[in-house]
Each structure stands twice: as C-alpha cells, then as structure tokens.
C-alpha cells in the first residue's frame, strides 16, 4: 500500500488544488484561533456563563475536524471523508449562529476557518466525485 502522500498525489484533483504544504500551513494558522475560541467557549460553558447547547456545535465540530485526517488518509475513505467535511462545514455555521448573541468576537473569529473549510469542502467533494463512484 502506498504511503498517504503517494496515494493522495495519485488522485484526480482540480487544477486549483493547493499543495499539501500549503494546506498544512493554512491549518497551522487556523489551529491557534480554533484553540483559543473553542477553549474560551468550553471554559464559559463549564463556568455556566454559556449554555451547553451553545458549546455543542463546537464539540461536534472539534470531533469531526479531528477525525477527518484518519478517515481521509488512514482509511482512504473518500465518501466518508466527504460526509465528515460537510459536518465540519455545517457545524461552523451552527457555531457562529449559536455563539453570536453571547460572544460576537468568537463568531467573527470563525470567518477564516469557515472560508478555508468552504474551499476544502468543494475540493473534497470534487476529489470524491472524480475518484469514487463516478459513472464511466
């Protein structure tokens, strides 16, 4: 079985697909924002200054985000990775709406994350379509 990078490079992808190193750099920029904002939301929920229902989409998003890489590159399951990234994308919208009336800055801080995941979602759906289950 080829390593994950050889496998990924063998897939059909759109011409605008970023290099893996660019994708990694974008996540290195986003993860600190995610850490601070998600951490803030969870701490506020623990302190009962924020309802747990507001923290719920953050928790779901975190789990879906963390399991994407093992699904995509470990299992190499493109359809499941496509479903997972749709969950990540949808929960970002849910997070922003849920937290808006409590902490607007947390919602606004998700905008770069939402933009990147929107691009990544289109990319993942394209890769899935071109490499799995596409009619001959």
Integer distance in angstroms from the first to the last C-alpha of the chain?
A: 25
Q: Position of tokens 């289109």?
A: 122
* pLDDT attached to residue 55: 98
Residues 6 or more apart whose Cβ sits within 8 Å of residue 41: 50, 54, 55, 58, 99, 103, 106
Confidence of residue 4 (pLDDT cuts 50, 70, 90): confident
What tokens does 15 get? 């011409």
pLDDT digits (tens, 9 = 90+) for 50-78: 999 999 999 999 999 999 999 999 999 99
Residue 23, exposed/middle/buried by CB under 10 A (0-12, 13-18, 19+)?
Answer: middle
Separation of alpha carbons 42 and 39, rounded Å: 5
Q: Rounded to two decimals, what is the model's pTM? A: 0.93
């Amino acid at each position: 079985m080829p390593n994950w990078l050889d496998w990924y490079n063998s897939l059909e992808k759109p011409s605008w697909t970023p290099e893996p190193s660019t994708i990694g750099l974008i996540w290195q920029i986003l993860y600190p924002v995610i850490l601070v904002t998600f951490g803030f939301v969870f701490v506020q929920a623990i302190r009962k200054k924020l309802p747990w229902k507001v923290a719920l989409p953050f928790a779901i998003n975190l789990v879906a985000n963390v399991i994407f890489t093992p699904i995509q590159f470990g299992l190499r399951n493109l359809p499941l990775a496509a479903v997972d990234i749709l969950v990540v994308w949808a929960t970002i919208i849910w997070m922003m709406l849920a937290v808006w009336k409590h902490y607007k800055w947390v919602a606004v801080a998700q905008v770069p994350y939402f933009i990147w995941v929107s691009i990544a979602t289109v990319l993942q759906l394209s890769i899935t379509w071109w490499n799995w289950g596409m009619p001959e």
